[in-house]
Amino acid sequence: MKRAITAAAVFTTAVLLTSGCTPGSSSDTGSSDSKTFEFWSFTGIDQKADVDVYKKAHPDVEIKLTEVGSTSETAQALTTALAGGKVPDLVLIQGDDLPKFMQSPENFVDLATLGADQKKADYLDWVMKQSVTEDGKIIGLPTDVGGMAMVYRTDLFKAAGLPTDREQVSKLWPTWDAFLEVGKKYVQATGKPFLDNTPTSVFFQAVNQGSERYYDADRKRSYDKNPQVKAAFDLALKVHAAGVTARQTSWSTGWTAGMGKGDFAAVSAPSWMLHAIRTNAPGTAGKWDVATIPGGSGNWGGSYLAIPKRAKNPKAAWDYIAEMQSPAGQLAHFLMQGSLPTTPSVYSDPQLLAKTDPFFSDAPIGKIYTDSVLGIKPFYIGPDDATIGIELLNTLTSVEQGKVAPDKAWNTALTNVKNALRG
């Protein structure tokens, strides 16, 4: 009982902390030094590199960078801070978390008032659209997008009698159906699984390639009616039925181990996943290459920089955004760290086109990934997008684990989404 009280106490203390002050009440202990600002980022995206570059160019500026944790942990910390705690001056928000914050735009500085409306045109319009409210307030500026590609093991492809050259491999799978045929051939030749899994490597890619996802153009939920969602779901079931995957759920221990051991030959990899492959399977350096994603284009991921309303030093934070997220700034960050720029003007820059990655057989990742985001059709991402997406994904994982019958999967998925949208 005492523990129940403690648990309740912890919960409510958190609620209290987050409800103590109302949003918008500004702290009067503002920093006297207008060159200092606080910056919250998440891990794995290496904002420190950018901060160091900026500090070098502006030695008088002091930036307190905190890597809060994973993307969702950072969003949680930001929520708590916005509701009543000490807010940072600048915060990085992952694309999937952004719609939640877009519902309460009063918590953020409208960047248009600081000059963002003049810079809007620098960015991919469908990326920019996601951080602009219906009445035109700019909540965040995009820092990167997650273009799509398929990475594959050249040594394993060779052993299976498949081509290994990235141009030829890309030509093997203009569509997902062609991709499945390649998978069947691979399994026939080697007796080993071809792809890591279907929920992430097929469904999450295909569903992001449509012209509409879980919401329609009127910003109403349409995941249960949109034929594109159903088609992506059915495609995943079809690939599963063909038995060409290792059924290793992305990010699980088995997935990491299998990747290092070469127990599957292909993984769908948005640009930010290259880093995960490098760190999870360091022993496979040079054995991978990058081909285009079946279907040609698509985006999954990306982040935004925003300034909370109660920030002490919004001006210094804005100066940082303006300089580091300019087309030149994003290009420099890409060359250093690999996150894909959101500014199409640099997509033809010779430095970007010349960028290769030795871990992936010197594939020109700049060109491959920017090509994949050029043909994209914009769609509205709503506040429940993350919830809907994860329930559909989880149901497909259950199918892979043999816990849900494939013919019942779609109905199960819809029930799961409906349950998740309550409360």
Provide, rounded to whole angstroms, the least separation between the CB of residue 401 and another protein. Answer: 4
314 sits in which H/E element: helix 314-324
The residue type of 92 is L
Our CB check for another protein shows the closer of 21 and 189 to be: 21
Packing angle between helix 385-400 and helix 227-241, nearest 10 degrees? 20
Q: Which backbone phi and psi does 26 adopt, to 5 degrees?
A: -90, 145
Among 215, 370, 395, 409, binds another protein (CB under 8 A): 395
- Running DSSP on this structure, what letter comes out for residue 175? S
- Residue 398 touching another protein (CB under 8 A): yes
Here's the x/- map for another protein, 96-135, by CB under 8 A: it reads as ----xx-xx--x----------------------------
Provide, rounded to whole angstroms, the least separation between the CB of residue 15 and another protein. Answer: 6
Q: What span, in angstroms and rounded, lies between the C-alpha atoms of 206 and 229?
A: 9
Q: What span, in angstroms and rounded, lies between the C-alpha atoms of 324 and 322?
A: 6
Our CB check for another protein shows the closer of 193 and 329 to be: 193
Our CB check for another protein shows the closer of 2 and 56 to be: 2
- Residue 4 touching another protein (CB under 8 A): yes
3-state class (DSSP) for residue 117: helix
Among 83, 139, 229, 365, binds another protein (CB under 8 A): 83
- Residue 284 touching another protein (CB under 8 A): no
Q: Which has the closest alpha carbon to 197: 149, 146, 266?
A: 266
Q: What span, in angstroms and rounded, lies between the C-alpha atoms of 403 and 180?
A: 23
Q: Which has the closest alpha carbon to 150: 200, 189, 96, 88?
A: 200
Contact in structure between 47 and 110 (CB atoms under 8 Å): no
Among 111, 160, 381, 404, binds another protein (CB under 8 A): 404
Provide, rounded to whole angstroms, the least separation between the CB of residue 348 and another protein. Answer: 39
Residue ranges binding another protein (CB under 8 A): 1-16, 18-19, 23, 72, 76, 79-80, 82-83, 100-101, 103-104, 107, 246, 248-249, 251-254, 257-258, 261, 263, 387, 390, 393-395, 397-398, 401-404, 419-420, 422-423
